[in-house]
Amino acid sequence: MHMTISVAVSGASGYVGGEVLRVFSEHPDVQFGALTAHSSAGDVLGLHQPHLRTLADRTIVETSADTLAGHDVVVLALPHGASGEIAAQLPPETLVIDCGADHRLASAEAWAEYYGGEHAGTWPYGMPELITADGRQRDNLPGSRRIAVPGCNVTAVTLGLQPGISAGVVDPTDIVAVLANGYSGAGKKLATNLLASEGLGAVSPYGVGGVHRHIPEIVQNLTSAGGDDVRISFTPTLVPMARGILATVTAPLAAGVDAEQVRAAWETAYADEPFVHLLPEGQWPTTAATLGANTCLVQVTVDAKAGRVVVISAIDNLVKGTAGAALQSMNLALGVHETTGLQTLGVAP
């Protein structure tokens, strides 16, 4: 039976909103309703998203409970702190998918420490592949009417390392993650450090020294996967590319574990995952190979001299890191096959 799913997208002029529109357009049942934003309200979408030709003539409207009413699904792609208030005004039967951070953290204390202000509450977490105490997070999503889409860096680190945590082959108390990030991760806002003249010839670290907002969410996920006393040193760097995240994550090899057991942990964890792919031994993920696709590419090895497991994972921050995860979670919440409308073929070169 063919059904129509009406979807409103808030933040439609932004990077995530634009990618939600592109990715959700591939879904056979999705029909777009209101496209909302803030300062761009009144403009046609084509002014802000010229690559979305089929929607170029649609007019952006102001974001309010009224303009978002009457849809099956509302996707919020707003700056953090803005979605809690609007979500609270939407009816409980509407599936609300928040791409921002407002509803990801279980701990109000962690929210206050890393984001500040009132914690908006905790929603079911939109990472179907996340390992939980009794299975995978996808089992918790059917029937949900509120979903918190994970942070993009969080997705890269969690999907990279969680098999080792779950299998007990790495020590979770000494994780080090260094990431190379494309500029779209920072959103469309104007800022000096995001200017081409600053960034095109540079690799620049940011959020250094344990202060990045994605840290508590990574700890939450790796704890879900079975980690006890998870501790992570996390350093992202901006590199001159528009999209993509390459995460290099290392952790001490657990006592008595060999390289075969390490590989087996990752093979077992991802054998049946449609979107997370462990590459053949010796082949390393690149961001280019995930461009435009809802995939996370992973490789793992053991640095025997250092006594550490080394994992590399790559995603497109706007697809598996946001819009693709949103669509995958929507499918699960509405009882549609999880992979419907989702692309595993990237754009290359």
67 vs 166 by CB, closer to ligand NAP: 67
In degrees rounded to 5, what are phi and psi of residue 236?
Answer: -90, 150
Measured from the CB of residue 48, what is the shortest distance to ligand NAP in angstroms? 7
Measured from the CB atom, the residue of 126 and 163 that comes closer to ligand NAP is: 126
The length of the chain in residues reads: 349
User: Which pairing describes strands 5-10 and 30-37: parallel, antiparallel, or unpaired?
Assistant: parallel
Q: Nearest Cα to 69, choosing from 25, 30, 120, 34?
A: 34
Joined together, the tokens standing for residue 275 give: 């979107």
Rg (CA), the chain: 20
Find the helix packing angle between 152-167 and 215-224, rounded to 10°.
Answer: 30
Binding track over 78-117 against ligand NAP, x by CB under 6 A:
xxx-x----------------xxx----------------
Does residue 11 belong to the site contacting ligand NAP (CB under 6 A)? yes
* Catalytic residue flag (residue 152): yes
Binding of ligand NAP at residue 244 (CB under 6 A)?
Answer: no
Tell me, residue by residue from 32 to 61, as one string, x for binding to ligand NAP by CB under 6 A and - for no binding.
-----xxxx---------------------
Which residues inside 136-165 make contact with ligand NAP, applying CB under 6 A? 151-152
CB of 229 to ligand NAP, least distance (A): 27
Candidate ranges 66-74, 128-136, 285-293, 318-326; the one touching ligand NAP (CB under 6 A): 318-326
Q: How many helices (H) and strands (E) does the chain have?
A: 10, 15
Give Cα separations from 284 to 100, 170, 180, 247, 267 (angstroms).
30, 20, 15, 12, 15
Closest CB 280 distance from ligand NAP, rounded Å:
29
Q: Which amino acid is at 85?
A: E
Q: Which of 53, 189, 305, 337 binds ligand NAP (CB under 6 A)?
A: 189
- Residue whose CB is less far from ligand NAP, 12 or 157: 12
Find out whether 164 and 251 touch, Cβ atoms under 8 Å. yes
Cβ atoms < 10 Å from Cβ of 347: 13
Contacting positions for ligand NAP (CB under 6 A): 11-17, 37-40, 63, 77-80, 82, 99-101, 151-152, 184-185, 187-189, 317-318, 321-322
- Catalytic residue numbers? 152
